[in-house]
Amino acid sequence: MKNLTNALIIVLCLAAAYAFFYLVLGAEGNFTDPKTGAVDFHNPQNALGMIYTGGPLVGLLLACILLAITYTVERALSIGKASGSGNMSAFASNVVGMVRNGKYAEAVKACDAQKGSLANVLRSAVERFEKVEGDGKLNNEQKLGEVQRVIDENMNLETPLLEKNLVIISTVASISTMIGLLGTTVGMIRAFAALGAGGTVSAQQLSIGISEALYNTAGGLAAAIIAIVAYNYFTNKVDSFVYTMDEAILDLMETLSIRIGGKL
């Protein structure tokens, strides 16, 4: 399902990018001479027309920019949702304090109110501890081991959700520069072909080749900058998020160890 959703997003971005490329950038009005009314797709009249002369690879670069923006917004919303409704550190301290005083039901309610990844992990830990605390068949170490097992299971479920789609942002950052370089190379080939043609050098063909090279370079750099900044930002955000979760879990386990008198 995840791969299908990503494939659909990529297809939609490609469709939107090429629709914009052909219908907006390639509109006849961008190539209509205001004096004669003639349409010449080799003679752009404005900036939109000039970008269109960059060639079909510009559409692909527009798709890369759209993908970078789309997944940046998606990650911002997802990580924001995973953070929950309040400050994570304050929430964790509050829950640990409730557990320290044996207020398990209140701790669970606080987790339900907070929501998010940390709340899910802490709630599962508190609920599991409440069940095993009075179990005479388990020693203290086994009780804490049961809680730790539940925590590990939930962490294995929550952490991938935080890192989801970062690889796509990283891929966009890499391939957009390659696509831009390819467009630059094609444009320079066209420019040098115009210079090397026999007879009079066509300034128009030469300028189109140079434009194709420069606009592809600019498009590739724009997509790469957005993707690289987003990837680094969210990678740091996830690392900080996981560190906060680990710190909260450590505090909770220390509190549980004290409550049952276990020393690990």
Q: What are the pLDDT digits (tens) for 178-215?
A: 999 998 888 788 777 766 665 555 566 666 667 777 88
Q: What's the whole-number mean pLDDT along residues 9-33?
A: 91
Q: Identify the three-state secondary structure at position 106.
A: helix
Q: Which residues of 165-189 are buried (b: 16+ CB within 10 A; e: fewer)?
A: bbebbbebbebbbebbeebbebbee
Contact by Cβ (8 Å): 220, 183? yes
- Which has the higher per-residue pLDDT, 38 or 87? 87
Dist. CA 261–CA 256, nearest whole Å: 8
Secondary structure (3-state) at 32: strand
Instruction: Identify the burial level of 36 via C-beta atoms within 10 angstroms of its C-beta, where 0-12 means exposed, 13-18 middle and 19 or more buried.
Output: exposed
Signed CA dihedral, 192, 212, 217, 178: sign only: negative
**Mean pLDDT across the stretch 242-249?**
93
Given a cut of 60, is residue 40 above it in pLDDT? yes
Is there a contact between 110 and 94 (Cβ–Cβ < 8 Å)?
yes
Q: For residue 55, what pLDDT band results from cuts at 50, 70 and 90?
A: confident
3-class DSSP state of 101: coil
Per-residue pLDDT, 263: 42
Taking the domains of the chain in order of start, what are their residue ranges?
85-163+244-260
Amino acid at 29: G
Q: In angstroms, rounded to a whole number, what is the distance separating the alpha carbons of residues 17 and 25?
A: 10
* CA–CA separation, 28 and 26 (whole Å): 6
**CA count, 13 A, side-chain hemisphere, 136:** 0
What's the DSSP call for residue 29? G
**Of 238, 260, 66, 57, residue with least CA distance to 164:** 238
Which one, of 242, 240, 261, 254, lies nearest residue 121 by Cα? 242
- Confidence (pLDDT) at 262: 45
